[in-house]
A and B are shown apart, each in its own frame.
Chain A
Amino acid sequence: MRNIWKHAVLIFAALLVAYPFYYMVTTAFKNMMPAEATLIPNFVMMTRLFRPNDPTRIVDGYLVQILPFIATAFSIFLLRQQFLGFPKELKDAARIDGAGDVRFLWSVVLPNSVSTLVTVAIIGFLASWNAFQWPLIMTSRPDIQPVQIGLNAFRGEAGSSYHLLMAAAAFVVAPVVALYLVGQRYLVQGVARTGIRG
């Protein structure tokens, strides 16, 4: 459930930022920092700012898992690619009809970007469903830990009961497989266009 909210925010933020790029200077904002570069500093930052017993529960809670990933350079890049395809005349026509920036974004750009948005949403979902390393170092309470951590922890409990372990793995994989079979077109499209590798 939290993931869905996260993606609503993620898409909204990415949408907001990709739009002006279409009109602004064309030099792309290339954020090339890999996650490895920010892992340790983000860890230090989060554990320093918020003590473990922090009542706001930012560390070892949901927020710590959500915040660093809301704005991703990847989704901005993907949407920008899409927006570059919009003819400038469309914008001028909308302005003459009295539509401002927000109206143009909502009524013209948004309906025409559905497939890219779906791609961004699916890839974002996969990224958070499959999240492992960051929650591994930031969380310790089972009730807020994501499913991959749970599966890994279950390996210790299941021991050599491989039938149980395989059942657990199947549960973890099932939603992804379902999503993939439904949204295959969007996913493959996004990957072929940008080349992400999980």
Chain B
Amino acid sequence: MPFVFLFPAMALLAIFKVFPALFAIYISLFRWDVIQGAFRGLDNYADILWANPTRAEAFWRAMSTTFTYVLITIPLEMGLALVIAYVLFQRLRGRTFYRTAYYLPYVTSTVAAATVFVWIFHPQFGLLNAGLGLVGISGLTWLQEPDGVFQMIGRAVGLDVPGWAAGPSLALVSIAIFSIWHFLGFQIVIFLSGLGNIPEEYYEAARLDGASGRQLFTNITLPLLSPQIFFVFTIATIGVFRAFNEIYVFTFPPLLGGPLDTTRTLNVLVFRTFFQQGQIGLGSALGVILTLLILAFTVIQFRVLERRVVYQ
């Protein structure tokens, strides 16, 4: 009897999840430009990693962009979320309102939200430059700016920053700002649920021993929140690996991943290779690499999740 119940969803999962995962590997072993071509073995992977200079350059550049994106987004986002969650947890007046307000961006679609941010980041009519104009900063072109941020700061104070230290492009930083705004509420909710699980007695005992507010935070809150912190870290990293919609909306097809390819993450490169260039075999190989990257973090995350889940 159970198998009768199982069948419909199992069949669909098999057709659209399990089979495609294997099919993706199969495709990646062939020359496959729109239609299936000759068997290439692992040559597609070799091309991507080192054998074909153009492909390899694009791949390693995308890898570096992806990890830069992770690096400029995750620490700031997690730090902000932690602080806001901690403040919201202290019986703040109207905290339900704040929680709703912070969480709202997370449920809105990335396409709609990014459309609004296209305007906010607009060099002439945008909200951001209007605001910065009041404090005397003007002329930033945000999403259209391929120059590195350190390079730009250096230029502003009259320092010549070498090319290797140029930093992420302002365009990538703009996307990171959007990403932080959009996903902050999710992290706050997770942190709040973690904070709710810490027994009040611990704080009381520490207070009796004369611990300061800061000591309470670093010696009780942080260690007891570490499962949530770790969990949020893996989820957020996976989220950045998977980012596509916002980059698509911000940089738009002919320039997808622009300006000057500075926002072309691995997932965007996959899309460009298989869809825009029609190189399905190569694209699939790139996709397999991206999947392995995501799976590595998923495995870590499942470990954490297993410990967190409470079976009644």
Contact = CB atoms under 8 A, between A and B. Distances in A.
B112 interface: yes
Interface centre among A36, A69, A133, A166 (most CB of B within 10 A): A36
Contacts of A195: 190, 231, 235, 301, 305
Contacts of A81: 309
Nearest to A132: B245
Interface residues of A, number: 68
Interface string A131-170: 0110011000000000010011001000010100110110
A133 B287 CA distance: 15
A127 B17 CA distance: 17
B66 interface: no
B36 to A, nearest CB: 9
Contacts of A188: 103, 189
Contacts of B290: 36
A30 B16 contact: no
A13 B9 contact: yes
A96 interface: no
A176 interface: yes
B291 interface: yes
Interface centre among A40, A85, A129 (most CB of B within 10 A): A40
A90 interface: no
Interface centre among A166, A168, A184 (most CB of B within 10 A): A184
Contact of A197 (B2, B18, B19, B186): B186
Contact of B100 (A136, A181, A198): A181
Contacts of B291: 33-34, 36-37
A152 B116 CA distance: 11
Contacts of A192: 189-190, 193
Interface stretch (B20-28, B46-54, B136-144, B201-209): B20-28
A190 to B, nearest CB: 10
B294 A20 contact: no
B284 interface: yes
Given A130-B109, A195-B235, A197-B239, A101 B104 contact: no
Given A37-B287, A188-B103, A197-B236, A130 B110 contact: yes
B280 A40 contact: yes
Interface in B202-218: none
Contacts of A191: 186, 189-190
B82 interface: no
A180 interface: yes
A177 B108 CA distance: 7
B106 interface: yes
A76 B21 contact: no
A80 to B, nearest CB: 11
Given A32-B295, A37-B24, A45-B23, A20 B309 contact: no
Interface string B287-312: 11011001100110110010001011
A162 B20 CA distance: 41
Interface in B232-267: 235-236, 238-239, 242, 244-245, 248-249, 267
Given A36-B270, A165-B119, A17 B5 contact: yes
A133 B183 CA distance: 19
Given A38-B20, A165-B115, 8 more contacts: A17-B10, A20-B2, A31-B17, A36-B291, A41-B19, A43-B275, A68-B16, A162-B125
26 contacts: A17-B6, A19-B2, A23-B2, A31-B13, A32-B302, A33-B17, A34-B291, A34-B295, A38-B17, A42-B16, A130-B110, A137-B275, A151-B115, A162-B119, A162-B125, A166-B116, A169-B112, A172-B111, A176-B108, A176-B109, A188-B103, A188-B189, A192-B189, A197-B183, A197-B235, A197-B236
The 3 tightest CB contacts between A and B, nearest first, are A20-B2, A41-B20, A71-B12
